[in-house]
């Protein structure tokens, strides 16, 4: 348990993919004086928190895994939540990261002490100081629930997909699902056969493209175990296929047409009812919001006990939801599939040298340098920060590039006796201008939709890297010390 006198060299927030991967690379580079602060009672991040029925990854597991820890034992093309969580536990154990994790330790506040030249950290289990602070928090860590009129009067059961109530039996119930994002698309087909009536409230129709999932055979797994080069080839093939989505995202919007045709074909093939098909047809360019891979979503919506409602919700009663067409929908349970708060609330608790929080800066304008450092936050690093996430690649690929960059920065500090580093304001501004210039005509900004890909006013890219992910990996392959202000060289 931490106490008020404890000091560590490096404090990492979050024990998900980023935190565990960073822990592995820190130990490999000779760093042992670090802790990973995890608010939950187990590691895994989003894969520990999300346990809703059907929870799985939408990136093939051969790619959604660490390059340094391939796993030939995936039982499906797309890893399920239990398998991904087991994989992370295995990696943490194998590489000696478990000893560094402190569970049930939630960050209350972290602030930079300019006089002492370190971070002051307050947690649910005490206080500490650290030379370096790293945010390894995922962007989808906190539930977002809209404030609907009358929701406080609802007397039935309600919960968000992030906090699934496994003790509540949905059998035979009248269930309302509000939201049609990636999580809802996965759990709706799972609960549909059991419920009495399922009413899906859709604000905008998502683009659905074929998932093409399958169970791996014992022969496939044996071949991957025996021939590691085969696993690398499979990973490379998936990388190339997903990287190609960048053609739509930031190269030229006209490349969207083949992908949209694939989505429309999926819709026409799986939904025969013309009126339902019209309600499920997106009215924006594919890629403007996150496209979703599913083979089961549309068939579930065609079942007799399912209704898709596109009218706006105006009020919630004790056991009903009213829409602006005057219809009152009777419900027993509300499941919120309304996504996550971006950025996570913990950013409100991290304050830099001028006292402003990361959350305040984000609301002012999503900003960072390479998605890893931020002006005004000395000795602070982050993974998947603004313009450090890709819309056309596995998050794990981007995380590994950022981990490499962060560890190189820490090695530079160690080897050169540096006590303080902070990205130069002019370096960050040049990076942000580049991001804005490359984003101006992308589908994320001009695709006729509103999403978390955009700033609050919808006028700009809120943080996706508008270039190829391999180009990002190249530019983060070495720590560019000349982009930083450094001080405190020891004798």
- 280-291, pLDDT tens digit by residue? 999 999 999 989
β-pair partners for 102: 37
Handedness of CA 9, 15, 21, 27 (dihedral sign): positive
According to DSSP, the residues that pair with 109 across neighbouring strands are 122
Q: What's the pLDDT at 138?
A: 85
- Which CA distances in Å does 110 have to 130, 273, 490? 10, 54, 26
Nearest to 246 by CA among 464, 17, 489: 464
Is residue 203 left, alpha or beta, with left meaning phi > 0 and alpha meaning psi from -120 to 50?
A: alpha
Sign of CA dihedral 127, 132, 138, 142: positive
Counting DSSP H helices and E strands in the chain, the numbers are 15, 20
| pLDDT score recorded for residue 401 | 98
Helix (H, G, I), strand (E, B) or coil at 363: helix
Q: pLDDT of 167-186, one tens digit each?
A: 999 999 999 999 999 999 99
Domains of the chain: 7-142+341-487 (3.50.50.60), 151-213+225-336 (3.50.50.60)
Instruction: Tell me the three state secondary structure of residue 273.
Output: coil
Residue 452 scores a pLDDT above 70:
yes
Indicate if the pLDDT at residue 3 is higher than 90: no
Helix, strand, or coil (residue 462): coil
Q: From 415, 406, 363, 376, select the one nearest 388 (Cα to Cα).
A: 406
Q: Taking residues 269-290, what's their average pLDDT?
A: 96
| Mean pLDDT of all residues in 257-272 | 97
Mean pLDDT taken over the chain: 95
Alpha carbon distance 45, 19 (integer Å): 9
d(C-alpha 356, C-alpha 351), whole Å: 5
Mean pLDDT on 299-324: 97
Mean per-residue pLDDT for 358-375?
94
> Which of 265, 244, 266, 267 lies closest to 256 in space, CA to CA?
244
Three-state secondary structure call for residue 235:
helix
Q: How confident is the model at residue 346 (pLDDT cuts 50, 70, 90)?
A: confident
Q: 141: pLDDT confidence band, cut at 50, 70 and 90?
A: confident
Q: Which residues lie closer than 8 Å to 382 by C-beta, 6 or more apart? A: 134, 135, 136, 137, 368, 371, 372, 373, 374, 388
Show the CA angle centred on residue 335, arms to residues 329 and 341, nearest 5°.
Answer: 125
CA-based radius of gyration for the chain: 23
Give the span between the Cα atoms of 436 and 461, in whole angstroms. Answer: 7
């Amino acid at each position: 348990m931490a106490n008020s006198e404890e000091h560590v060299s490096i404090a990492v927030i979050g024990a998900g993919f980023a935190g565990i991967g960073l822990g592995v690379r820190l130990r490999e580079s000779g760093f042992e004086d670090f802790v990973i602060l995890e608010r939950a009672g187990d590691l895994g991040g989003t894969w520990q928190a999300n346990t809703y029925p059907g929870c799985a990854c939408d990136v093939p597991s051969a790619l959604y895994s660490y390059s340094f820890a391939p796993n030939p034992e995936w039982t499906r093309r797309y890893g399920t939540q239990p398998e991904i969580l087991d994989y992370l536990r295995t990696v943490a154990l194998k590489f000696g990261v478990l000893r560094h994790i402190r569970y049930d330790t939630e960050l209350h506040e972290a602030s930079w002490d300019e006089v002492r030249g370190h971070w002051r950290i307050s947690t649910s289990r005490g206080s500490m100081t650290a030379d370096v602070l790293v945010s390894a928090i995922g962007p989808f860590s906190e539930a977002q629930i809209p404030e609907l009129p009358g929701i406080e009067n609802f007397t039935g059961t309600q919960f968000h997909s992030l906090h699934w109530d496994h003790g509540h039996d949905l059998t035979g119930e009248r269930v309302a699902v509000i939201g049609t994002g990636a999580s809802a698309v996965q759990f709706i087909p799972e609960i549909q056969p059991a419920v009495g009536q399922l009413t899906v409230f859709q604000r905008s129709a998502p683009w659905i493209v074929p998932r093409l999932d399958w169970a791996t055979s014992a022969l496939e797994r044996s071949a991957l175990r025996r021939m590691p080069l085969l696993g690398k080839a499979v990973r490379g093939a998936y990388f190339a296929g997903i990287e190609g989505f960048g053609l739509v995202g930031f190269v030229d919007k006209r490349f969207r047409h083949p992908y949209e045709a694939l989505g429309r074909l999926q819709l026409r093939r799986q939904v025969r009812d013309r009126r339902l098909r019209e309600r499920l047809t997106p009215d924006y360019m594919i890629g403007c919001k996150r496209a979703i891979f599913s083979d089961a979503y549309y068939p579930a919506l065609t079942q007799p006990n399912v209704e898709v409602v596109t009218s706006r919700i105006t009020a919630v009663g004790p056991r009903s939801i009213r829409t602006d067409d005057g219809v009152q929908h009777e419900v027993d349970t509300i499941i919120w599939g309304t996504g996550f708060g971006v950025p996570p609330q913990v950013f409100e608790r991290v304050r830099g040298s001028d006292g402003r929080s990361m959350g305040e800066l984000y609301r002012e304008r999503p900003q960072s340098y390479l998605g890893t450092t931020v002006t005004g936050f000395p000795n602070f690093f982050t993974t998947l920060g603004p313009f450090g996430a890709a819309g056309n690649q596995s998050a794990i690929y981007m995380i590994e590039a950022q981990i490499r960059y962060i560890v190189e920065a820490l090695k530079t500090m160690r080897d050169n006796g540096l006590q303080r580093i902070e990205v130069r304001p002019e370096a960050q501004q040049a990076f942000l201008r580049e991001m804005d210039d490359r984003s101006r005509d992308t589908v994320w900004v001009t695709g006729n939709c509103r999403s978390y890909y955009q700033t609050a006013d919808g006028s700009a890219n809120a943080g996706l890297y508008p270039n190829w992910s391999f180009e990002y990996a190249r530019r983060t392959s070495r720590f560019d010390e000349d982009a930083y202000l450094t001080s405190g060289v020891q004798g």
